[in-house]
Amino acid sequence: MAQDTKNAKAEMLRRLKRIEGQTRGVQKMVEEERGCADILHQLNAINEAIRSVSRLLAENYAVECLQAPGKRGKSRAAIATMLDVIAQVPR
């Protein structure tokens, strides 16, 4: 595994753990019957964090697949797969 891939993986895991913590925080807010505005604010932060991780993953996928298409098949197939993945990334 290349160093850049290891770094990207570590960064994704760090962000996902943070999202997990934010989600647990929202669960606690709901249990404590906190205000809707506060809960919605936290949910928006979680959504943005998920979009950020999705972009990071898509970028890493593009680098991995397009720099070395021989590993994953033909270049055209790698590009088609990457475009499908990018189309699914939340905006």
Confidence (pLDDT) at 3: 62
pTM above 0.85, yes or no: no
- Residue 3 has φ and ψ, to the nearest 5°, of -60, -40
Confidence (pLDDT) at 90: 66
Q: Report how many domains make up the chain.
A: 1
Residue 31 belongs to domain with CATH number: 1.20.58.1000
Per-residue pLDDT tens digits for 23-79:
999 999 999 999 999 999 999 999 999 999 988 888 887 777 667 656 555 677 777
Cα atoms in the 13 Å half-sphere on the side-chain side of 50: 14
Q: Please give the structure tokens belonging to residue 65.
A: 């697949």
CA–CA gap between residue 72 and residue 91 (Å, rounded): 27
The residue segments making up the domain with residue 83 are 3-88
